[in-house]
Structure 1
Amino acid sequence: MSAAKTFELVDTTLRDGEQQAGLVFSMREKLTLAKALDRAGIRCIEAGIPAMGSFEQQTMRELIKLRLNARLIAWNRANRSDILASVACGFSWIHISLPVSDLQIRDKLAKNREWVLRALSQTIAFARAQGCRVTVGAEDASRADLGFFLKFAEVAAQSGAERIRFADTVGCLEPFSAYEKLKQAGERCPLPIEFHGHNDFGLALANTLAAKEAGIPYASCTISGIGERAGNACLQDVAAMLNRNDPGCCAVDTAELARAEAIIPPPRNDLSGLKIS
């Protein structure tokens, strides 16, 4: 498989980016960021996690009222209550995420592979019954058995999902292994793959570019690479490299992204006054 002719960047600043220690967006900041990303040409924005509580849900409703050109997606665990919270906010696109590595299935969920596949199928069916379109996330895919990742993708496709996220959750890939793993996965996967790289070893940008060379058509990033632990692939850097090396494959305005970067507040050292609903 040759390099992807088009490479769509999915922004997850408002969801994964906000998981950076000490970083909390106000509603106004989230709305302003979403509008800036929309102006920059980002066509898919992971808006947040409605199951987090009433403040997040209120913010999600206000984001939907903006009627952006960008598609807004709500992130969900594989359970009905998460999905119902997203539907109540007005989302028509739902992302459902589950671990696929044996390590996380055992230690995070205390379940087994069969349970994961069953939960995946049931929650996709439930989301679609609410009138939603669905993407799925394969957490810790970089440490998972490829055969099980592909089985997970097969069940997702059969259940009606439209895209699958291959997550390098702990940032353990390097560009050579990223290319090989994603090339093999892409050639056999029944769904389009979105690569999601974390930056624990400083390789999220390189791994994201390797994903494109392996033929993967989507990648998720955050403004300035913010996110939990060492963060994610930096949206501005990925877009700049694509515009430099393969003009036309990614229609994103880097000048607008620079303006979006200025909206990000500095992390707070003291969060004791925050109310979590």
Structure 2
Amino acid sequence: MDVNIVDTTLRDGEQKAGIALGINEKVKIAKILDDIGIYQIEAGSAAMGGEEKASIEKIAALGLKSKISSWNRANIKDIDASIDCGVDIVHISIPTSDLQIKSKLGKDKAWVLERIKKCTTYALEKGYEVTVGMEDATRSDINFLIEFCTVVSEIGIKRIRYSDTVGISYPRKVFYSIKKLLQEVPIEMEIHAHNDFGMALANSLAAVEAGAKFANCTISGVGERAGNCDFIKFAQTLDMFEGEKVCPLNIEQILRCLSL
């Protein structure tokens, strides 16, 4: 399977009510995630500025083995803020559902395609690895998702994030949607699941079964609203039932690291 973890504790995890991490706490968590062997750490959203941007800069400067990324809206100012931080990966996210394109952006699908082309091309020309997120993918028209993925793939994007932004999907739908996208477009898929209906783990596993090579997780499943996919549960399930290790350490070693 060759599944890689993209840990978003420092970005989506911190959006949980009651969680407010300081710079030193974020640095400590990043070092622990690196010790565990996490492939990629989503360190925050640099466009927020202040301590958020400062913490991303500090984490990016640590020289960790884990790749460091920053989350961005589809605009050049966001991307420049991430570039200023010296991250390894620039992640650009944009709504793809009719509902959010209209309510959040006040635009149409043609605008979304042009916007993502402009922003991804800009970041790629700056020499950065770029990944793209499809916000509210689980409520998006599958034919538009195919068109969207085709457009960014032709630009040079290698990985797309399929996001269950509002946590309303279920395993069978996630499986068939990702399977269809992978059949139609030569691109790697990443799953971002929320736990509003208790499906974050199941949806992430379904995505992996369909061929996704990357999964977003957080420590203890913390995250906005009901949370995200729990890293330990995800890692343990794949290890026990599929013999797939998502990081070099065993579960006992991971738990020891997280208890520090």
Mapped contact 1:36–1:256 kept (Cα < 8 A) = no
The alignment's C-alpha RMSD in Å is 1.4
Matched, 1:72 2:41: no
Q: 2:252 aligns with which of 252, 255, 262?
A: 255
Matched, 1:162 2:169: no
Q: 1:87 aligns with which of 70, 80, 83?
A: 83
Aligned to 2:241: 245
Letter of the aligned partner of 1:187 in structure 2?
A: Q
Give 1:155 shift.
1.3
Q: Could you state the TM-score of these two structures normalised by the residue count of structure 2?
A: 0.95
Give 1:30 shift.
0.7
Structure 1 residues 133-188: Cα deviation after superposition (integer angstroms, max 9, x where no partner): 10000000011001111111111112222200000111111122222222222222
Paired residues, what number?
A: 259
Give 1:260 shift.
5.2
Structure 1 residues 19-73: Cα deviation after superposition (integer angstroms, max 9, x where no partner): 1112111111111111111111111111110100121121111101210000001
Aligned to 2:52: 56
User: 2:50, 2:181 → 1: CA distance?
Assistant: 38
Structure 1 residues 236-256: Cα deviation after superposition (integer angstroms, max 9, x where no partner): 100010111122442353334
Partner-residue secondary structure (3-state), 1:134 = strand
Letter of the aligned partner of 2:71 in structure 1?
A: W
User: 1:236, 1:38 → 2: CA distance?
Assistant: 15
Write the mapping of 1:103-252 to structure 2, written as runs, cut at 5 A: 103-252=99-248
Mapped contact 1:179–1:211 kept (Cα < 8 A) = yes
Give 1:257 shift.
3.6
Write the mapping of 1:17-56 to structure 2, written as runs, cut at 5 A: 17-56=13-52
Partner-residue secondary structure (3-state), 1:108 = helix
User: 1:59, 1:186 → 2: CA distance?
Assistant: 35
Deviates more, 1:231-240 or 1:171-180: 171-180
Q: Which runs of 5+ in 1 are unaligned?
A: 264-277
Partner-residue secondary structure (3-state), 2:179 = helix
User: 1:224, 1:69 → 2: CA distance?
Assistant: 22
User: 1:174, 1:261 → 2: CA distance?
Assistant: 29
Partner-residue secondary structure (3-state), 1:48 = coil
Mapped contact 1:99–1:140 kept (Cα < 8 A) = yes
- % same residue: 44
Give 1:259 shift.
4.1
Mapped contact 2:8–2:43 kept (Cα < 8 A) = yes
Structure 1 residues 210-245: Cα deviation after superposition (integer angstroms, max 9, x where no partner): 111112211111111111110111011000101111
After superposing on structure 2, the runs of 4+ consecutive aligned residues of structure 1 that deviate more than 3 Å are: 259-263
Structure 1 residues 59-99: Cα deviation after superposition (integer angstroms, max 9, x where no partner): 11110121000000111011110111111111231000000
Q: Which runs of 5+ in 2 are unaligned?
A: none
Partner-residue secondary structure (3-state), 2:178 = helix
